[in-house]
Amino acid sequence: MAKRVSTTIVETTLHEYGSMTRKAVRRYLEGGEPRRYLYDLVADYPTRPGKMMRPSLCVAVARTFGASLDEVLPTAAAIELLHNALLIHDDIEDESESRRGRPSLNALHGVPLALNAGDLLLLTSLRPLLENWRTMGPELASRIFDEAVRTARESAEGQALELGWREEANGRLREADYLEMVLKKTCWLASIFPMRAGALIGTRGTLDLDPFIRLGFFLGAAFQIQDDLLNLAPSAHYGKELNGDLMEGKRTLMMIRLLQEAAPAERAELVRILARRRLQRTRKQVLWMRKLFDKYDCIYYARHLAEELAGAALHEFSRIYTGMPDSRDRQFIEALMVWVIERN
Amino acid sequence: MTIRRSTGSGEHGARVRRARPARTAPLRTWPGALRQPDSWQPDGPLATASGTGAESRRANGAIDGVKLGYSVIEEHMRHAESVERQYRSKRAKEPIGGGPDLQNTVARVFRSVADLVPIVGQIINSAGAAGFNQTVALGSPLAVGNHTGRGGFLEANSAVEIELSSPQPVKATLELRPGAERLMLVTTGLYAPGIAKPVVKGLEFAKAAKGKKASLRIRVPRMSAGAICSGLLLERESGEPQGVLTIRVAK
């Protein structure tokens, strides 16, 4: 019987490290003019309530290897700023209407102003990384900077895959395609970069970082599948629009499964609907696709795969942390593997 | 499984039959063991048995997520390595100083000036010295790597004396947090990746005292070439990590 992992520590640690990171982030969010058209927009997403998983993971990993909070918080702030900048760009590209329980920046202010704010936020995320140069020395700071650059590249490649599939109305995708896209689009920023940066800081660059790619991938992929599942389930805490992914025609794992399993006539209709632009898709079509998810057990299927990936993440975690002393940070990271698929 | 048990009374051993194990393969659906896998709501009911039926679902056309996941991630890492090799090869062909490389230039200029780590020491015992004890204080000519401090973290004479004993050439790297040499440090041993038991256990640390440097004695057993093991140095009282010790065996 598998041991039961308590996820309570996840909520408390996310709250604690999240608050510290928010405080660190505020240092980089300047005021000034034009406030209405720029600086208020730049500060909008970072001040909305988010999970703060990325920076918390970075802090926790760094601390398991002996780093102090002062050493790691600037990098955690950079990760959070980069994440928020990419969210602005994602919402524009996906034509999303809501984010973290409020209208998206593009919905509130239009695409040009939102895009401009996203650009500045992206550049702002470099500031803490440049400050690392002074506090950590050039060798370590440049390695963290390299990690950030790679993360940005991987994220852009993942986003390009997803947008390209939608643009081409690609209906012949397999699970491996989905996982590769998620690895690039989600995992690098959600878990791989935070953990690798944390390990770099904690060990001063003496640890082999490859195992964190495997751990981060399994953790991030399980996280993303759960995120896609939550998009289909009504919840007061969920900050995005219900069935928003279906409205956007996203190639989620459920959609890829549905395209494989649906009857030929249903599949043809699905491909036709997915080829349309978001605004051309009707509420009725979205609900029809949602019903097909149930008809072909796509939700059940995705949930099962997420559980398998979370199990693999736990295995990779034990490979890295076997022999390391127990600590609250270590417990937090371990519990995160369960939390990602249980959260609502 | 059949076990022949000796009764010790001269009779033939009785055949004891044990029930077939409930599971003979890795449990891949471990969270499902905690609750029903189809409990869509996260606070769904707990399962009473660990049999989650994963295999029967797989028979219905589902894929092995773990196997697929590993194939995706290993391919990603192979590709990244190949890109890195190409990049390095391209860089090697560039003439020295032929292109602006801000990162390396800045790194070269500042490398000896600043480093966050207050005390970093590396000791490399040469092939000729293998098998003999070496006592090296950080700051001696044998100490390789940065051991300079920043912002007053490192006092000019602060040092840790390391006594290294190994039957083969190894490199020891010690990194300590500011002031840690004055604490009573302990370690749970040095571990190699994927091995549950500590590889190096013979570690003794004596904190710095008046007029006396902190000392660390390490006895390294024979390990395979290229092996690496590391471990945390913890403050005995609080258990707070204070540093990392890494041993690398020469390839």
Provide block-wise average pLDDT over 10 residues at a time, chain A (344 residues): 68 96 93 90 94 96 93 96 96 89 94 97 94 89 94 95 85 90 96 97 90 96 94 67 83 93 93 86 92 93 94 93 89 94 83
Cα(A9)–Cα(A20) distance, integer angstroms: 16
CB contact under 8 A, B150 and A137: yes
Residues 298-327 of A with CB under 8 A from B: 299-301, 303-305, 307-312, 314, 319-320, 322-325, 327
pLDDT at position B32, please?
Answer: 44
Taking contacts as CB-CB distances below 8 angstroms, the residues of chain A near B232 are 65-66, 324-325
The total of other beta-carbon atoms located within 10 Å of residue B90's CB is 9
Q: Pick from B36, B75, B88, B103 the residue to mutate for testing the A interface (most A CBs within 10 Å).
A: B103
B197, B232, B243: residue with CB nearest A325: B232
CA distance A162 to A182: 9
Residue bearing tokens 């780590």: B117
Minimum distance, in Å, between the CA of residue B99 and any CA atom of chain A? 18
Contact B72 A211 (CB under 8 A): no
Q: Where exactly are the structural domains of chain A?
A: 2-342
- Please choose, from the candidates A78, A39, A38, A29, the residue with its C-alpha nearest in 3D space to the C-alpha of residue A58: A78
Q: Does A176 touch chain B (CB under 8 A)?
A: yes
Of B37, B41, B70, the CB nearest to A304: B37
Asked if A195 has any chain B CB less than 8 Å from its own CB, the reply is no
| Interchain CB distance below 8 Å, A322 and B191 | yes
Element of type H or E holding B71: helix B65-93
Cβ contacts of B65 on chain A, cutoff 8 Å: 175, 304-305, 308-309, 312
B-interface mutation test, from A131, A142, A307, most B Cβ less than 10 A away: A307
A230/B contact by beta carbon, under 8 A: no
Displacement of CA A139 from its chain's centroid (Å):
28
pLDDT tens per residue, range B130-156:
443 444 444 332 233 332 322 222 222
Report CB contact under 8 Å: A137, B194: no
The reported pLDDT for the residue numbered A177 is: 94
> Which residue on chain B is closest to A4 by alpha carbon?
B34
Give the A window 109-128 contacts with B, CB below 8 Å.
none
- The partner residue sitting opposite B103, judged by closest CB among A142, A221, A319, is A142
Residue B83 three-state SS? helix
Q: Tell whether omega for the bond before A55 is within 30 degrees of 0, i.e. cis.
A: no
Separation in Å, CA of B48 to nearest CA in chain A: 10
* Residue B159, pLDDT score: 62
Q: Check: pTM over 0.80? Answer yes or no.
A: no
Segment B179-211, tens digit of pLDDT: 787 888 888 788 888 787 888 887 888 887 777
Nearest to A137 among B73, B116, B173 (CB): B116
Cβ within 8 Å, pair B106-A137:
no
Q: pLDDT at position B234, please?
A: 84
Distance CA A181, CA A186 (A): 8
Taking CB atoms within 8 Å and a gap of at least 24, the contacts of B73-80 are B73/A183, B73/A213, B73/A214, B73/A217, B73/A218, B76/A180, B76/A183, B76/A213, B76/A217, B77/A210, B77/A213, B77/A214
| Nearest chain A Cα distance for residue B234, angstroms | 9
- Neighboring chain A residues of B66 at a CB cutoff of 8 Å: 308-309, 311-312
Distance, in angstroms, between B134 CA and closest chain A CA? 23
Nearest-Cα residue of chain A relative to residue B189: A323
Distance from CA of A194 to the nearest CA of B (A): 17
DSSP letter for each residue of B117-185: -SEEEEEE--GGGTTSEEEEETTSTT-BS----STT-S-TT--EEEEEE-SS-EEEEEEE-TTGGGS-E
Out of B77, B234, B241, whose CB is closest to A213? Answer: B77
Residue A75 and residue A147 in contact, taking contact as beta carbons nearer than 8 Å: no
When pLDDT is cut at 50, 70 and 90, the band that residue B251 belongs to is confident
User: B interface mutation test: which of A254, A308, A314 has the most B CBs within 10 A?
Assistant: A308
CA distance A203 to chain B (A): 7
- pLDDT of B238 strictly over 60: yes
Here the ipTM equals 0.85
pLDDT at B245 over 80: yes
**B chain contacts of residue A138, beta-carbon cutoff 8 Å:** 103, 106-107, 109-111, 114
Cβ contact (<8 Å) for A142 and B107? yes
Residue B60 above 90 pLDDT? no
**What CATH number should be reported for the domain whose range is A2-342?**
1.10.600.10
CB contact under 8 A, B65 and A66: no
- A276 min Cα distance to partner chain B (Å): 29
Q: Which of B232, B241, B246 has its CB closest to that of A206?
A: B246
pLDDT at position A161 is 94
Which chain B residues are closer than 8 Å to A179 by Cβ?
68-69, 72
Interface contact flag, B173 A304, Cβ < 8 Å: no
Chain A residues closer than 8 Å to B77 by CB? 210, 213-214
Look over chain B and give the mean of its residue pLDDT values, rounded to a whole number.
62
